[in-house]
A and B are shown apart, each in its own frame.
Chain A
Amino acid sequence: MSSLWPELERLLGEVQKPARYIGCEDGMILPAHHPDKAAWLLIYPDTYEVGLPNQGLQILYEILNERPDAVAERSYAPWTDLAAALRREGLPLFSLDTHRAAGDFDLLAFNLSAELVYTNLLECLDLAGVPIRTADRGPEHPLVLVGGHCSYNPEPLADFIDAAVLGDGEEAVSEISEVVAAWKAQGRTSREDVLLALAGVTGVYVPSLYTVGFRDDGILDVVRPLHPAVPELVEKRTVADLADWPYPKNQLVSLTEVVHDRLNVEVFRGCTRGCRFCQAGMITRPVRERPAEQVRTMVAEGLRRTGYDEVALTSLSTADFSGITEVLADTVSDDACGQVSVSLPSLRVDAFTVGIAAQIQRARRTGLTFAPEAGTWRMRQVINKLVREEDLYGAVESAFSQGWRRVKLYFLTGLPTETDEDTLGIIEMAEKCVEIGRRHQKGASVTISVGAFVPKPFTPFQWFGQNTEQELNRKVGLLRDAARKAKGVQLKWHDTRASVVEGLLSRGDRRMGAVIEDVWRNGGVFQEWGEHFALSLWTDAMDRHGVSFEEHVYRHRHEDEALPWDHLCAGLHKDFLWQDWRDALDEVGLEDCRWTPCYDCGACTGYGIEHVVASATPPAGGSQGTGQELGPDRVGAVPVGLSQRRPPIVEQSVEPNLLPAGAER
């Protein structure tokens, strides 16, 4: 179990960006391995620059290393040049902390934040010298775990992983460590023993202990436990109070440049705004705020310890944090921190937000980003992103008048019920924003970034048949033509081919495993990188294994149809999601339950927990997820129909008409 550094050192001279592989970060831990301890290798299956800042991985790294019965190190997917060099020299995947072989660890735990990295998971296992298929592993091999948002539908990876951990990992990793340490103490008996014991930990799903049935027409029927001791429904884990988990305490500071290269402090977890396309908002409910005092301490100490001059207050919608104004004022005026800039990665679309942005960005007023997500009010009601035009234009006006020169707007296309009018509404909004901007600055410009909508599990849109690649291309074409005529509007869009593959993996069942393996065997790694993505690798593999986009991606799911993740639980009742889907089609909005009565979606009620929010009223101003001006007394016309958990619709025999007139299908 010695360090591979001397061998690796010789290879680093021949690869790009060798600093990716040296570790040595400020905050790095060099744990003392011991036969009695469960040794975790936490792997982010993408490049170091993308993976290092991942907060989830860093939190578990610290928690595990604080335990007496566990150690944890880190690894990231080696770029193709180093992977080739490792294979040539017969060297394995290694940890960055002590540069030891991945195969020497007891657990290889992958953080899965995006579906397109799935083939990298196989690549990492293979480089580690671990059989890629669960069935081929023995007690001597590491256990392969996955966590992160994608683990809510791990079925496409069922052949390759030993277990998936659902939800917050803070508590679950400790229980898993106990199970694995005990298994080691018993002399690593059979693999079945440890897998059964792991399945007994709440939040842990062991795919090999379940069987999958299909109907005659090839549609998934049911996923059933194979063993009496394993649960029929695997529940997610939720940490009740973030105040108990002030992690990471020593954020890793990379020696080389990475994305989000700054201090990151998580101010709350969960979001109940209820955007229907947003998986993160649905699966991380309820809202759990960190106490403002703890945020202040983590910011001040973090800046002093790291030497960063930028801090991001992270969450799914930071302007909603109770007491955001005060926390920001304290941060900006703390002399000990010097010239600090604060960034709020997810801005709410309203003037209040621009106000706080102005407070924190006194110097660098280059660009501000908002996400109205859809171009018409009708469309935004469907997706429950209840930003009114006044909100956006108010925000834009206030940004340009206060010195910002560029505004970036995020939109989705391919949304349920989207018509060409909705699509083109994106450009109209952007043009209006430029017009407002030019009143204040001659060179005002607006960049719009359009992504293709991919339906995700555990969202109200999980039943929606994703737009075909052709349809998405047609919409992008409409946008390009319109943008060309619009002054001051720049358009960027995502690769629609990658979106349909993402769709295949996000809602796929176990039959995707053969496709993933096939793509990997044909050299398909780093598929989330444009330079490596190849649609033909996927379509060829799909042809060979009888998988089609038509059936698995473009088809609308029926209400009575089993979904591949039905035996897993993200806290949300399926009937709540179905009702929300019906509301979406009826263009009915749903208010944020943080500040209103509960709809019993299940996320709190199912686990006996509740929101942890310091203030009973939302931070001032703007649209509060309802499209209303919510003053303290909450008066005024309500521009949307607010659904207060309407009685379920009984008659549902008619397939909702989801497609815009004239759209091809």
Chain B
Amino acid sequence: MSVVANPRIRIRFSKQGKVRFTSHRDVARIWERALRRVALPVAYSEGFSPRPKISYGLALPTGYASEAEYLDVELDREQAEALGLVSQGIPGNPQDGLIGRLNQVLPVGIRVQAIAPVQPGSSSLQQAVVACTWEFEVDAAGFDEVEAWVSRVLDADEIIVERERKGKQVTDDVRPLVEALEVGRGRCGASGETVRVTAVLGTRPRALRPVELLEAMLADPAAGPHPPLSARTVCRMQQWMLRESQESQEYQESQQSQESQESKEDIKITQGDARVEPLSVDAGPAALVETRV
């Protein structure tokens, strides 16, 4: 048995339209079939029920769209080399026609945007992602109302939510996870103007979902009268990870800072140097700049 690690590739894709109602698990199965259809030499686990070695990033809640989903695929080294896909452990040029072939077999709404080799030894998607940028429209609320809500969120010292974790109700302060929040105007077909919110929400120790944030504020009696906000067409625009070299150090810092109220400002998103996307798309949306309405 070879001691050299199998080569890995990372695939970035979008999930839009009707297909966004499939679950994280459904998407995993869609990918398994698609990879078999393009005959990519995926590595399999040993044992009674061999499974393809594919790892998926943070689960996208069912019903949300995304412009930034990821999966890492481990290739069978020998087969991949025989096919000329790898040399010295690094996939050579897996983009070679693969994006087109995958897009042909994937369902409408799932589109591969980019594929690249993963550096040997780099951490998994689950471990690496620290925050996501979300966009969503807010139903039945005017711009001013939403703007007021944004201010209230950003001014709050703590935002307590009750969430279910492994079947148990737990209470979390999610305020440290709200890294940036911005309101803007959008257009939506014939119905006219819509109010769009862009949010950067942290994922550690547990990812905060846009809907949890909206519901948290509604449930807070101290917040006073509140527009009945509900999100629709939620879309994950980006996922962020720390640069490999900074990862361990920054993660520790951010863990500490979550414990102290004063350092909240420090952990606000500072893109450019510290954070990168797991795999960027050249023509992708521009990175969000620091926001405070």
**A residues apposed to B, CB below 8 Å:** 5, 9-10, 12-13, 18-19, 21-26, 253, 255-257, 304-309, 338-339, 363-366
| Contact A256:B19 (CB < 8 A) given known A13-B232, A363-B49 | no
Residue interface bits B68-85, CB-to-A below 8 A is 1, else 0: 000000000000000000
The one of A18, A257, A304, A305 in contact with B62, judged by C-beta atoms closer than 8 angstroms, is A18
| Contact A338:B18 (CB < 8 A) given known A10-B232, A18-B63, A257-B29 | no
* Residues of A contacting B63 in the complex (Cβ-Cβ under 8 angstroms): 12-13, 18
Would you give the shortest CB distance from A17 to chain B, in whole angstroms?
8
Residue B187 at the A interface, CB < 8 A? no
New A-B pairs, 11, CB < 8 Å, besides A18-B62, A363-B50: A19-B23, A24-B108, A25-B107, A257-B25, A257-B26, A304-B37, A307-B36, A309-B32, A339-B50, A364-B48, A364-B49
| Contact A18:B37 (CB < 8 A) given known A255-B107, A257-B29 | no
Contact B33 A308 (CB under 8 A): yes
* Residues of B contacting A307 in the complex (Cβ-Cβ under 8 angstroms): 32-37, 105
* Most interface-central of A5, A19, A23, A339 (chain B CB within 10 A): A19
How distant is the Cα of A25 from the Cα of B34 in the complex, in angstroms?
A: 13
How distant is the Cα of A319 from the Cα of B105 in the complex, in angstroms?
A: 34
How distant is the Cα of A25 from the Cα of B33 in the complex, in angstroms?
A: 13
The one of B44, B48, B109 in contact with A24, judged by C-beta atoms closer than 8 angstroms, is B109
* Residues of B contacting A304 in the complex (Cβ-Cβ under 8 angstroms): 37
Closest chain A residue, CB of each to CB of B42 = A338
Residue B251 at the A interface, CB < 8 A? no
Would you give the shortest CB distance from A331 to chain B, in whole angstroms?
15
How distant is the Cα of A65 from the Cα of B63 in the complex, in angstroms?
A: 31
| Contact A256:B26 (CB < 8 A) given known A18-B21, A24-B107, A363-B50 | yes
How distant is the Cα of A256 from the Cα of B25 in the complex, in angstroms?
A: 8
Which parts of B1-59 form the interface with A (CB within 8 Å)? Answer: 18-19, 21-23, 25-26, 29-30, 32-37, 39, 44, 48-50
Contact A255 B26 (CB under 8 A): yes
10 A-B contacts, Cβ less than 8 Å apart? A5-B18, A12-B63, A21-B21, A24-B19, A304-B37, A306-B37, A307-B33, A307-B37, A363-B48, A364-B49
Closest chain B residue, CB of each to CB of A366 = B48
Contact A22 B18 (CB under 8 A): yes
* Residues of A contacting B39 in the complex (Cβ-Cβ under 8 angstroms): 338
* Residues of A contacting B37 in the complex (Cβ-Cβ under 8 angstroms): 304-307
Contact B33 A253 (CB under 8 A): yes
| Contact A23:B18 (CB < 8 A) given known A253-B33, A307-B36 | yes
* Residues of B contacting A364 in the complex (Cβ-Cβ under 8 angstroms): 48-49
* Residues of B contacting A305 in the complex (Cβ-Cβ under 8 angstroms): 37
How distant is the Cα of A255 from the Cα of B19 in the complex, in angstroms?
A: 8
* Most interface-central of A24, A338, A365 (chain B CB within 10 A): A24
Closest chain B residue, CB of each to CB of A13 = B63
Contact A12 B33 (CB under 8 A): no
Would you give the shortest CB distance from A448 to chain B, in whole angstroms?
24
Closest chain A residue, CB of each to CB of B25 = A257
* Residues of B contacting A26 in the complex (Cβ-Cβ under 8 angstroms): 107
Contact B26 A19 (CB under 8 A): yes
How distant is the Cα of A540 from the Cα of B129 in the complex, in angstroms?
A: 58
How distant is the Cα of A625 from the Cα of B30 in the complex, in angstroms?
A: 42
Contact B21 A22 (CB under 8 A): yes
* Residues of A contacting B50 in the complex (Cβ-Cβ under 8 angstroms): 339, 363
How distant is the Cα of A21 from the Cα of B48 in the complex, in angstroms?
A: 35
Contact B33 A306 (CB under 8 A): yes
The one of B21, B32, B44, B49 in contact with A19, judged by C-beta atoms closer than 8 angstroms, is B21
How distant is the Cα of A306 from the Cα of B50 in the complex, in angstroms?
A: 19
How distant is the Cα of A309 from the Cα of B34 in the complex, in angstroms?
A: 11
Closest chain B residue, CB of each to CB of A18 = B21
* Most interface-central of A10, A21, A257 (chain B CB within 10 A): A257
Would you give the shortest CB distance from B66 to chain A, in whole angstroms?
15
* Residues of B contacting A13 in the complex (Cβ-Cβ under 8 angstroms): 63, 232
Closest chain A residue, CB of each to CB of B26 = A256
Closest chain A residue, CB of each to CB of B44 = A339
The 9 closest A-B pairs by CB, nearest first: A307-B33, A18-B21, A307-B37, A22-B18, A307-B36, A19-B22, A256-B26, A19-B21, A255-B22
* Residues of B contacting A366 in the complex (Cβ-Cβ under 8 angstroms): 48
* Most interface-central of B18, B33, B36 (chain A CB within 10 A): B18
Contact B36 A365 (CB under 8 A): no
Residue interface bits B86-112, CB-to-A below 8 A is 1, else 0: 000000000000000000010111000
Closest chain A residue, CB of each to CB of B108 = A24
How distant is the Cα of A24 from the Cα of B26 in the complex, in angstroms?
A: 13
Which parts of B88-141 form the interface with A (CB within 8 Å)? Answer: 105, 107-109
Would you give the shortest CB distance from B174 to chain A, in whole angstroms?
21
| Contact A24:B18 (CB < 8 A) given known A307-B105, A363-B50, A365-B48 | yes
How distant is the Cα of A13 from the Cα of B23 in the complex, in angstroms?
A: 12
Would you give the shortest CB distance from B29 to chain A, in whole angstroms?
7
Would you give the shortest CB distance from B185 to chain A, in whole angstroms?
21
Would you give the shortest CB distance from A97 to chain B, in whole angstroms?
11
* Residues of B contacting A19 in the complex (Cβ-Cβ under 8 angstroms): 21-23, 26, 62
How distant is the Cα of A339 from the Cα of B47 in the complex, in angstroms?
A: 13
How distant is the Cα of A23 from the Cα of B232 in the complex, in angstroms?
A: 21
Closest chain B residue, CB of each to CB of A253 = B33
Would you give the shortest CB distance from B163 to chain A, in whole angstroms?
19
Contact B29 A22 (CB under 8 A): no
How distant is the Cα of A5 from the Cα of B30 in the complex, in angstroms?
A: 23
Would you give the shortest CB distance from B196 to chain A, in whole angstroms?
17
* Residues of A contacting B108 in the complex (Cβ-Cβ under 8 angstroms): 24
* Residues of B contacting A339 in the complex (Cβ-Cβ under 8 angstroms): 44, 50
Closest chain A residue, CB of each to CB of B27 = A255
Would you give the shortest CB distance from A251 to chain B, in whole angstroms?
12
* Residues of B contacting A18 in the complex (Cβ-Cβ under 8 angstroms): 21, 62-63
* Residues of A contacting B32 in the complex (Cβ-Cβ under 8 angstroms): 307, 309
Would you give the shortest CB distance from A368 to chain B, in whole angstroms?
14
Would you give the shortest CB distance from B191 to chain A, in whole angstroms?
10
How distant is the Cα of A549 from the Cα of B201 in the complex, in angstroms?
A: 62
Closest chain B residue, CB of each to CB of A99 = B18
How distant is the Cα of A453 from the Cα of B35 in the complex, in angstroms?
A: 45
How distant is the Cα of A474 from the Cα of B232 in the complex, in angstroms?
A: 55
How distant is the Cα of A13 from the Cα of B230 in the complex, in angstroms?
A: 11
How distant is the Cα of A339 from the Cα of B42 in the complex, in angstroms?
A: 11
How distant is the Cα of A22 from the Cα of B23 in the complex, in angstroms?
A: 12
Would you give the shortest CB distance from B24 to chain A, in whole angstroms?
11
Would you give the shortest CB distance from B138 to chain A, in whole angstroms?
14
Contact B36 A309 (CB under 8 A): yes
* Residues of A contacting B35 in the complex (Cβ-Cβ under 8 angstroms): 307
Closest chain B residue, CB of each to CB of A26 = B107
Would you give the shortest CB distance from B195 to chain A, in whole angstroms?
17
Contact B105 A256 (CB under 8 A): no
* Residues of B contacting A25 in the complex (Cβ-Cβ under 8 angstroms): 107
How distant is the Cα of A13 from the Cα of B44 in the complex, in angstroms?
A: 35
Contact B30 A255 (CB under 8 A): yes
Would you give the shortest CB distance from A337 to chain B, in whole angstroms?
9
Which parts of B213-246 form the interface with A (CB within 8 Å)? Answer: 232
How distant is the Cα of A308 from the Cα of B34 in the complex, in angstroms?
A: 9
How distant is the Cα of A166 from the Cα of B142 in the complex, in angstroms?
A: 59
How distant is the Cα of A438 from the Cα of B232 in the complex, in angstroms?
A: 58
Contact B48 A12 (CB under 8 A): no
* Residues of A contacting B22 in the complex (Cβ-Cβ under 8 angstroms): 19, 22, 255-256
Would you give the shortest CB distance from B18 to chain A, in whole angstroms?
4
Would you give the shortest CB distance from A490 to chain B, in whole angstroms?
21
How distant is the Cα of A197 from the Cα of B216 in the complex, in angstroms?
A: 63
Would you give the shortest CB distance from A307 to chain B, in whole angstroms?
3
How distant is the Cα of A24 from the Cα of B30 in the complex, in angstroms?
A: 12
How distant is the Cα of A365 from the Cα of B48 in the complex, in angstroms?
A: 8
How distant is the Cα of A364 from the Cα of B232 in the complex, in angstroms?
A: 43
